[in-house]
Structure 1
């Protein structure tokens, strides 16, 4: 069981690190801060509830079952953090959010204080690592401590389910998907943990033995539920950024043909990009270098190359916009390949007439279209050959 809960804790830790990749910016936003707090506290709950952790804590403190109030306090703090996260996520008037946050904080602080006080009053001399809830279900003060943390967690689960159901009716798309994941995780948590634990404890009160619900069913159910509803919180936050990185990766690859033609063009020195960076950063550096190269070639563009390429593209059935892109691509390639002989070359029309409006290509999408035009005739076909022959004639 320790391996299961430790694995769940590691997954939650990775999710928190993804959100905290820029700690100063992330923690300045209440929503980011509450998301990270909830995920980290969920990981703490899993770590604390592992039998290996409980045994180590009990041995370190010299108090049998000291890990119990520690775990129950962590679960109560996690319950509070989930409710605070949901409040910050849904938003609303700042004063109302602040009032709810304070109320929840005070309520669950009292729950934690009650758990600790009841454990201090109880007599629980025998260490129990997996079945403490049922073993001490009839022990004074331990019984009340167990009921208190279960009720606190059950209230959190039910309130969050109600809020998520109502909110999911008002939203669409990825936010609704996230809310449904949260509801599914909460359902697993309530049925597999709260209801199973409560049933097992109540069975002990009635003189029956249903400990299997507490020791076998509850741990994997709460681990799975925690991962599912944590994914519901994280998905709407991370998926848009992940999709943006994926689009940047695609654009970076799409610009490869254009960059291959322009990489040898001399430009002003630029700082070397970091060796390891996300696709968006790599795309940024490639765009900057391409735009610098386009500017450096301004005086070498040949309007006749563009006109011939445009006429050929139109003759092949391309629309005016597509023909324009092919013509510009042909002119750019011609200038890039002729740049070493630029001083000996005679341009047959004024420079301004063939100047490329690079501001039109500041948008990533336009640069990608220009790059893709390189692969279509006549951008890199007969016009380039004709230009080369003319330059050497």
Structure 2
């Protein structure tokens, strides 16, 4: 059990580290702060609930079962953090958000105070590290303390479930995916942890023994539910950056046919190769270098090659835009071969402007690259560099 809860705590903590990858800006964002607070408190719940931690806390304080109110207080604080996170996530007027946050903190602050006060009044001298909820289910004050923390946690999760269901109908994309993960985690917590705890405690009240639900079923299901919630918090926050990295990596790879054709004509300074450079950085350098190479090859553009390729594409039934791409790919491939062969630039080069130079971003360059990959005659230039072109560019 120690391994399960410590592992859950570690994954929880890693989630907060990912969200705080830019600490200076994160501390100014209430949503990021509340998300990290909820995740850190969730991690602390798992750390405090581990039998190894409970034993250490009890030994350190000299009070049997002191770890119980500490854990229950952490669970209540985590429940409050979930509600605060939801309030900040939902947004609205600042005054309203602040008022709702203060009310939630005050309510759960009173609950935590009640948990501590009930434990102080209770007679709980026998240390229980794994089955305290059921062992003391019929003990005065301990009974009320156990029921109180469970009710406080249930209230928070049920409110979260209701809001996630309602809000999930109104949003799309990463936010909806995050809400669904949170809802799945909350439902697993309700069914796997809370229902198991309530059932085991109620069985004790009725004179039965279903302690296994509390000691064996509830902890792993609570861990899994919390991890799903953690993923739900993190996904909407990290999805845009992850998507940008993925698109950068994809476009960098899709530009390879075009880059292989014109790379020897580029005079753009090459940055130091580093595997840790973000895909967007590598993509930006490749985009700049390709545009530099297109500029260097412009004196070799032949309108006759372009016109023949365009007419052939149109006769083949291709749409006008695709025919234009095919024509430009053929003209560019011809220009690259002429330059690589050391031929002189044309006396009257084409004044045609490539579609890839008319559109900002990489989409048009990717279209040209994919057309080159499909064109049978548009292979890569021979390995020798276009020294003549580079010399003229430098000159």
Instruction: Name 1:132's counterpart in structure 2.
Output: 132
Cα offsets for 1:32-74 (capped at 9, x unmatched): 2222222222222122211122223333444332322221121
Aligned equivalents of 2:23, 2:286: Cα separation in 1: 27
Instruction: Name 2:37's counterpart in structure 1.
Output: 37
Q: 1:158 to 1:376 in 2, by over 3 A?
A: closer
Cα offsets for 1:330-376 (capped at 9, x unmatched): 3333334444666x60413156x245465324322111100011123
Instruction: Name 2:326's counterpart in structure 1.
Output: 326
Instruction: Name 1:181's counterpart in structure 2.
Output: 181
Asked if 2 retains the 8 angstrom alpha-carbon contact of 1:294 and 1:358, the reply is: no
Instruction: Name 1:377's counterpart in structure 2.
Output: 375
Q: 1:273 to 1:63 in 2, by over 3 A?
A: farther
1:9 and 2:9 aligned? yes
Which region of structure 1 is more displaced relative to structure 2, 147-156 or 237-246?
Answer: 237-246
Which region of structure 1 is more displaced relative to structure 2, 147-156 or 56-65?
Answer: 56-65
Unaligned runs of 5+ in 1: 385-393
Secondary structure of the corresponding residue to residue 267 of structure 2: coil
Q: 1:268 to 1:248 in 2, by over 3 A?
A: closer
**Post-superposition offset of 1:171:** 3.7
Which region of structure 1 is more displaced relative to structure 2, 307-316 or 360-369?
Answer: 307-316
Instruction: Name 2:386's counterpart in structure 1.
Output: none
Instruction: Name 1:389's counterpart in structure 2.
Output: none
Q: 1:272 to 1:337 in 2, by over 3 A?
A: farther
Aligned equivalents of 1:346, 1:280: Cα separation in 2: 34
Aligned equivalents of 1:277, 1:60: Cα separation in 2: 48
Aligned equivalents of 2:300, 2:353: Cα separation in 1: 9
**Post-superposition offset of 1:305:** 3.4
Aligned equivalents of 1:121, 1:355: Cα separation in 2: 85
Secondary structure of the corresponding residue to residue 127 of structure 1: coil
Instruction: Name 2:348's counterpart in structure 1.
Output: 349
**Post-superposition offset of 1:318:** 2.9
Unaligned runs of 5+ in 2: 383-395
Superposition TM-score, scaled by structure 1 size:
0.85
Q: 1:167 to 1:320 in 2, by over 3 A?
A: closer
Between the two proteins, the alignment pairs up a number of residues equal to 382
Superposition TM-score, scaled by structure 2 size:
0.85
Aligned equivalents of 1:34, 1:291: Cα separation in 2: 45
List aligned pairs for 1:86-97, cutoff 5 A: 86-97=86-97
**Superposed CA RMSD:** 2.9
**Post-superposition offset of 1:16:** 2.8
Instruction: Name 1:268's counterpart in structure 2.
Output: 268
